[in-house]
Amino acid sequence: MEQVDLGVIGAGPAGMAAATIAATAGLSVVVLDEQPAMGGQIYRAVASGGAARTDILGKDYLEGAGLAQDLQASTARHLTEAVVWDIAPQEGGVAITYSHKGIPARIEAKRLLLATGALERPVPLPGWTLPGVMTAGAGQILLKASGMVAPRAVLAGSGPLLYLLAVQMARAGSPPLALIETQSLRDQLAAAPRLAGGIRGWRILIKGLGLLAELRRHGIRRITGARDLEVIGTGRAEGLRFSAQGRAQEIACDTVLLHQGVVPNTQASRALGLAHDWHAGQRAFVPRTDGWGESSHPGIFIAGDGAGIAGAKAAAVAGQLAGLQIACQLGALDRAARDAKAQPARKTLDAERSIRPFLEAAYPVAAQILCPADKTLVCRCEEVTAGDVRHWAGLGCKGPNQTKAFGRVGMGPCQGRYCGLTVTEILSHSHNLPHSQIGAYRIRMPLKPVTLGELSTVNAPEDAEEGHPK
Ligand SMILES: Cc1cc2nc3c(=O)[nH]c(=O)nc-3n(C[C@H](O)[C@H](O)[C@H](O)COP(=O)(O)OP(=O)(O)OC[C@H]3O[C@@H](n4cnc5c(N)ncnc54)[C@H](O)[C@@H]3O)c2cc1C
């Protein structure tokens, strides 16, 4: 079995930066990612290059190319299409089990870095399960991975990613029909006092203002303060209905791209039983980490959006900090060298994080999404509605894990990734109890669906014809 100093899960900015810095310090490093290329969400397929891509996706996208080149030039080994489905702490480190094209393999690592990024918050509203409805992130993946733009689309929800995607679609020659936003002027005014604390993150504000100006130049219609959103259509999405400016409105379209911000992907950190805290601003659970990204389990680190949403630049420097501390713990760097290298990274991290409280208040999650109407499906896998969860709460069901016993909610193929937070929100509201007391689903390995064949061969994997498992 392969043994390394550091195993990194995720080849986004956090994972790439951590692996590069640790490998440069002399550690043996392996990076596993289920994607076919490095880059993570924001820099997806960044190594594919091309001026046209940069024109559409923006020059920020190029920053990822630098991170990818550094990783490629380092001694770290990057395994593509490596789906990690089991992590087992053991004496002296962890055992990481993954599958590559259906063939399982296991690696032992003295230290583990979870750099598994963020997930889009689910957007349960009437009609969200109709064909033609996707998340904004999925629309962006189509653009980055395949150069495709969703046709006759309406973008709906809240958060800066909607502006970025609208602009990218317009640059690609297919602007959205409209941007229907749930945040209101009142939210923006209430967020204003937080600007003072976020002044070090001014670059993000300038970028946001630039996107808004570009939206205007492209003539993309924006409506803010929208409520009661509903995707309409028989058999597929045919339009979006909502109320705004004091009246009911409707826009006909073929695609609806929904977004209500992103939340940390805590599937692995939960399955490992690490400590988590409720983050009121991000309305999500966030793993507890120290200033280097080390979790409540010594030797297991978390960096990037998986440790709390702060964006790509913050993810890269948080990855560097984790890589430095791991190199120091394993004797490849002394404390003085670690601290000297960490200083600029910390400065950037603080600046990037400083703007978050403003963004969180300016783009709050819509009340309709936090507390969906009774008839709205919240668990798509098991077809459970918000009303079902409320009914079980009325019967005395206190936490998300109990709801599984009442109606299998969270027990489908997504393993609760897309309904977990909604169920916590509904129970918290129903019982008038804090989210921390309601808690979250208990996640169990395997993290991803695996076949019986993979399970049975994991201890005696065969050579793959192509690819890495041995
Ligand atoms: C859909 C989506 C689109 C986004 N688009 C933008 C954007 O355009 N601009 C922007 O500024 N921010 C964007 N963000 C936010 C941005 O992704 C983050 O700020 C940044 O990418 C965080 O970097 P990271 O390294 O923490 O994680 P990520 O970049 O998300 O990388 C995490 C990696 O972990 C891998 N992974 C997760 N679980 C496993 C597993 N079990 N096995 C193997 N691999 C695994 C994933 O494949 C992924 O490549 C987006 C977020 C999402 C969810």
Query: Do 240 and 180 form a contact (C-beta atoms < 8 A)?
Result: yes
Q: If you average pLDDT over residues 391-417, what whole number do you get?
A: 94
Q: If pLDDT is split at 50, 70 and 90, which confidence band does 464 have?
A: very low
Above 70 in pLDDT, residue 73? yes
User: Which atom of ligand 1 is found nearest the CA of 120?
Assistant: 53
User: Which atom of ligand 1 is found nearest the CA of 262?
Assistant: 53
pLDDT in tens, 194-227: 988 888 888 888 999 999 999 999 999 999 999 9
Q: From 3.50.50.60, 3.20.20.100, 1.10.10.10, 3.40.50.1820, which CATH number describes the 2-119+263-333 domain?
A: 3.50.50.60
CA-derived radius of gyration, the chain: 22
Q: If you average pLDDT over residues 441-450, what whole number do you get?
A: 93
Domain with CATH 1.10.10 in the chain: 371-438
Cα separation, 69 vs 155, in Å, equals 34
User: Does ligand 1 lie within 6 Å of residue 311's CB atom?
Assistant: yes
| Residue 209 CA neighbour count, 13 Å, CB half | 5
Cα separation, 239 vs 220, in Å, equals 17
| Cα–Cα separations (whole angstroms), residue 455 to 7, 37, 86, 186, 452 | 21, 26, 10, 53, 5
Q: What percent of the chain has pLDDT over 90?
A: 85
User: Does ligand 1 lie within 6 Å of residue 159's CB atom?
Assistant: no
**From atom 5 of ligand 1, which residue's Cα is the shortest distance away?**
42
Q: How much is the pLDDT for 463?
A: 46
Domain with CATH 3.50.50.60 in the chain: 2-119+263-333, 122-260
User: Does ligand 1 lie within 6 Å of residue 164's CB atom?
Assistant: yes
pLDDT in tens, 18-31: 999 999 999 999 99
pLDDT in tens, 156-191: 999 999 999 999 999 999 999 999 999 999 999 999
pLDDT in tens, 126-164: 999 999 999 999 999 999 888 899 889 999 999 999 999
Q: If you average pLDDT over residues 261-274, what whole number do you get?
A: 98
Q: If you average pLDDT over residues 331-335, what whole number do you get?
A: 98
User: Does ligand 1 lie within 6 Å of residue 120's CB atom?
Assistant: yes
Q: If you average pLDDT over residues 55-66, what whole number do you get?
A: 80
β-strands 2-9, 29-32: how paired? parallel
User: Does ligand 1 lie within 6 Å of residue 34's CB atom?
Assistant: yes
Above 80 in pLDDT, residue 115? yes
**From atom 33 of ligand 1, which residue's Cα is the shortest distance away?**
10
| Cα–Cα separations (whole angstroms), residue 236 to 25, 77, 457 | 54, 44, 42
Count of H helices and E strands in the chain?
Answer: 17, 21
User: Does ligand 1 lie within 6 Å of residue 46's CB atom?
Assistant: no
Above 90 in pLDDT, residue 90? yes
**From atom 35 of ligand 1, which residue's Cα is the shortest distance away?**
10
User: Does ligand 1 lie within 6 Å of residue 342's CB atom?
Assistant: no
Q: Is pLDDT larger for residue 463 or for residue 321?
A: 321
Q: How much is the pLDDT for 338?
A: 98
How much distance in Å is there from the Cα of 41 to the middle of ligand 1?
3
Query: Degrees (nearest 5) of the Cα angle 175, 176, 181?
Result: 135
- Architecture (CATH level 2) of domain 122-260: 3-Layer(bba) Sandwich (3.50)
Among 55-69, 94-108, 402-416, where is mean pLDDT lowest? 55-69
| Cα–Cα separations (whole angstroms), residue 329 to 5, 255, 263, 298, 333 | 11, 50, 30, 11, 8
Above 60 in pLDDT, residue 466? no
Q: How much is the pLDDT for 462?
A: 46
How much distance in Å is there from the Cα of 312 to the middle of ligand 1?
8
How many CB atoms neighbour CB 243 within 10 A?
14
Cα separation, 446 vs 93, in Å, equals 19
User: Does ligand 1 lie within 6 Å of residue 33's CB atom?
Assistant: yes
Q: If pLDDT is split at 50, 70 and 90, which confidence band does 461 have?
A: very low
The pair phi, psi for residue 255, each rounded to 5°, is: -135, 140
CATH code of the region 371-438: 1.10.10
The pTM for the full model equals: 0.94
Report the residue among 8, 96, 113, 116 best suited for mutation to probe ligand 1: largest number of ligand atoms under 8 A from its CB: 116
Q: How much is the pLDDT for 469?
A: 59
Mean pLDDT of the chain: 94
β-strands 239-244, 227-232: how paired? antiparallel
SS3 13: helix
How much distance in Å is there from the Cα of 257 to the middle of ligand 1?
18
pLDDT in tens, 352-363: 999 999 999 999
* DSSP per position, 169-195: HHHTT---SEEEE---HHHHHHHGGGG
Q: If pLDDT is split at 50, 70 and 90, which confidence band does 51 have?
A: low
